[in-house]
Structure 1
Amino acid sequence: MVDSVLNSESVAVITGGAAGIGRAIALEFAALGMRVVVADNRADRLTGIEAALKTAGAQDAMAQVADVADPQCLAALEQAVAERYGGTDILVNNAGIQPGSAMFGPVEAWEAVLDTNLWGVINGTRAFGPRMIERGRPGMIVNTGSKQGITTPPGDPAYNVAKAGVKAYTEALAHELRNTHGARLSAHLLIPGFVFTELNAHGRTEKPAGAWTPEELAAFFLERLKARDFYILCPDNDVTRELDQKRMAWAIGDIIENRPALSRWHPDYAETFEAFIRS
């Protein structure tokens, strides 16, 4: 089914597509000759993106301002795509923010992160999914998660909660789609590594040596989509897949072994964790 989606016959919609990972994925799809739709809530960042996508090889391109936290806004986007192209074949719910949060910090930060990073995925899937199923065409829904939603490190609890929710939601979506009569859609969870984007630049203008570029991430993403991966776990220049797997195994081990929560960062378990990583 993958080959019947990742080709010039498909229409791809990417939210948060004006910059960073979203833009790089949009350009990868454009290079396959698709019709590519980019949505973003920053109107100024959409300037020139249609031309860039066509230059990259897109049959056609469309850019529209959309706030993923607003279900009606995404419903209007879905309708606009259907009217122009007949429907959507690939949906990438990628829009995300990371303003920072604290456990007892401003509630506005929590609301903003959950509205965009979690509800944005839910809103996008609910807006586009029904027509994608009804069309009966092969298709994909990809949701951008995070390793922070799996190992949940201390420091930014709102982001962790949102991305953990995206993981659980996408797993449930995959199960739902494969058990829905007539649905020819697959679901995928994109789990980026350290990628140098505006989201994590923090004033830096040069890419850190340990980070991937968005283009490297997008190329890896496409390769793993072709391999039909559900969990698209991305390495970077600092962290290998093997190290990611050990960190994730330790995290689930907290439950299995009944260790303290987040024992990886607990001083009583520091030596044990390091020995586990080295084993």
Structure 2
Amino acid sequence: MKIETGQVAVVTGGASGIGLELCHEFGRRGMAVVAADIEADALAAAVGALRSAGIDAIGKECDVTSMDSVQALADECFAWKGNVHVVCNNAGVVAFGDAMGSLEDWKWVIDVDLWGVVHGLFAFGPRMREAGEPGHFVNTASTAGLLGFPGIAPYVAAKHAVVGMTQSLWHELQPTALSASVLCPGIVSTNINTSERNRPGVAAGSVERSGAWGDGWAEAQTAEEVAVIVADAVEADQFWVIPHEAYGGQALTLAQGRIDKQPPLLPVVHEQIHP
């Protein structure tokens, strides 16, 4: 779709990381922006920064695990400007540990990373389709949606599901004015490594912030770089958005391994700069 001044973009997880930079990038291209996030203080700061940059922006607290909360977000967005044109289902968390280590990790990660996307589609999709204007969904998955990284099995499962459902969605949207992309980044410098801070029952301030997730990794991209790639993909109606292209090659090798009846490929992350 062609991004035009006055169109509206909605970004969940919009108070930090890739989400915040998506807000800035769409705003730089003339869109009005709704940043949605569960962190009230970070959201207020993000909206202030967006407005200071001359972007028409509002913020809305939202818990993507709740359909009622995402529906309230959609209601406010449509009431604000009358329609929504880009929805980035971007909010995400990760839990580290053995696949059989914690059932609660599985429930929490899938609630956010998979159900958050489903809720976004249900809350925004029907009204966007009915409006008949060009529109686009960007569903944030990960290279963990293409490959089976050990140590983060709930995240891998949720992101594989997002990749699969977005493929189905793309086909279903072809007769409409809407389309979709799936974002599969590798390591990006964000604070997802401290996503436990937003876990239900975790006391505010109890999770230590120990630098960005991408610190020390040669392949790490900035959230700003990824946001530009995403916005360009929306304008090009590009489905696959894989900022770290080497993972596309690994996915091809994995697919060949399936044909050859080989065990799954162990994903390779670029060498750390320091331990």
TM exceeds 0.5?
A: yes
Bigger radius of gyration = 1
Q: Distance in 2 between matches of 1:257 and 1:175?
A: 29
* Structure 1 position 21 matched with structure 2 position 28: no
Instruction: Name the counterpart of 1:83.
Output: 79
Instruction: Name the counterpart of 1:252.
Output: 255
**3-state SS in 2 of match to 1:14:** strand
Q: Distance in 2 between matches of 1:263 and 1:130?
A: 39
* Structure 1 position 62 matched with structure 2 position 62: no
Q: Distance in 2 between matches of 1:101 and 1:120?
A: 22
Equivalent of 2:134 in 119, 135, 138: 138
Q: Is the 8 A contact 1:101 1:110 kept in 2?
A: no
Once the two structures are TM-superposed, the CA of residue 216 in structure 1 deviates from its matched residue by 1.2
Q: Distance in 2 between matches of 1:170 and 1:45?
A: 29
Instruction: Name the counterpart of 1:92.
Output: 88
Once the two structures are TM-superposed, the CA of residue 263 in structure 1 deviates from its matched residue by 4.0
* Structure 1 position 12 matched with structure 2 position 48: no
**3-state SS in 2 of match to 1:186:** strand
Q: Which amino acid aligns with 1:186?
A: S
Once the two structures are TM-superposed, the CA of residue 200 in structure 1 deviates from its matched residue by 3.4
Amino-acid identity (%): 36
Instruction: Name the counterpart of 1:193.
Output: 186
**3-state SS in 2 of match to 1:130:** helix
1:194-273 equivalent positions in 2, closer than 5 A:
194-200=187-193, 203-204=210-211, 207-208=215-216, 209-235=218-244, 241=245, 243-260=246-263, 262-264=264-266
**3-state SS in 2 of match to 1:99:** coil
Q: Which amino acid aligns with 2:9?
A: A
Q: Is the 8 A contact 1:33 1:57 kept in 2?
A: no
* Structure 1 position 37 matched with structure 2 position 31: no
User: Which deviates the most, 209-218 or 128-137?
Assistant: 209-218
Q: Which amino acid aligns with 2:81?
A: Y
Q: Which amino acid aligns with 2:186?
A: G
Once the two structures are TM-superposed, the CA of residue 126 in structure 1 deviates from its matched residue by 0.7
1:104-145 per-residue CA deviation (whole Å, 9 max, x = no partner) reads: 112111000000000100111111000000001001011001
Q: Is the 8 A contact 1:146 1:163 kept in 2?
A: yes
Instruction: Name the counterpart of 1:104.
Output: 100
Q: Which amino acid aligns with 2:260?
A: E
Q: Distance in 1 between matches of 2:255 and 2:156?
A: 15
Q: Distance in 1 between matches of 2:47 and 2:151?
A: 37
Q: Which amino acid aligns with 1:193?
A: G
Equivalent pairs counted in the alignment come to 252
Change (3 A) 1:210 1:150: closer
Instruction: Name the counterpart of 2:147.
Output: 151
Q: Distance in 1 between matches of 2:151 and 2:47?
A: 37
Query: Could you say which structure has the greater relative contact order, defined with CA pairs below 8 angstroms and 6 or more residues apart?
Result: 2
1:174-189 equivalent positions in 2, closer than 5 A:
174-179=170-175, 183-189=176-182
Runs of 4+ in 1 over 4 A off after TM superposition: none
Once the two structures are TM-superposed, the CA of residue 228 in structure 1 deviates from its matched residue by 2.2
Q: Distance in 1 between matches of 2:42 and 2:74?
A: 20
Q: Is the 8 A contact 2:89 2:140 kept in 1?
A: yes
Unaligned runs of 5+ in 1: 236-240, 271-279
Instruction: Name the counterpart of 2:47.
Output: 50
Unaligned runs of 5+ in 2: 195-208, 269-275
**3-state SS in 1 of match to 2:65:** coil
Once the two structures are TM-superposed, the CA of residue 246 in structure 1 deviates from its matched residue by 2.4
Alignment RMSD: 1.8
Q: Distance in 2 between matches of 1:177 and 1:56?
A: 34
Q: Distance in 1 between matches of 2:49 and 2:211?
A: 25
Q: Which amino acid aligns with 1:257?
A: D
